[in-house]
Amino acid sequence: MTNETDKFVVDVVYALPTQQKVIPVNVSPGTSAIEVVRLSNIVSFFPEIDLDTVKLGVFSNVVKHDQEILPGQRVEIYRPLIADPKDVRRRRADKAKDEGRANKVTGGRA
């Protein structure tokens, strides 16, 4: 059994292009990342978050839902990507070739 003094504060962070929310949560040692998110009740602010499939991270590193959270860490909730960055870059390169701004063979500047 843990004492109240064993608990520590962890921030849960979620951001949209126009707003962000940081919720401090008081947790016990051994609490998993998804448990911290559930305790924050962030879904009441952002109902579009699906806790079963959401990607979580700690300081920009993706973690599993059952990852134990340590004192001083911050749990980040990641939104799904709108477009695959590789596909966007590939389309931009193809467009540059078609417009004559890039070499059609090497892809370098014309």
Q: Select from 28, 37, 25 the least CA-distant residue to 5.
A: 28
Residues of the chain with pLDDT under 50: none
Tokens of 50: 């699906």
Phi, psi of 26 (to 5 degrees): -90, 115
The pLDDT value recorded for residue 76 is 96
The pLDDT value recorded for residue 65 is 95
The pLDDT value recorded for residue 105 is 66
Q: What does each C-alpha distance from 75 to 1, 83, 87, 100 come to in angstroms?
A: 24, 24, 29, 46
The pLDDT value recorded for residue 85 is 79
The pLDDT value recorded for residue 110 is 63
The pLDDT value recorded for residue 3 is 64
The pLDDT value recorded for residue 81 is 75
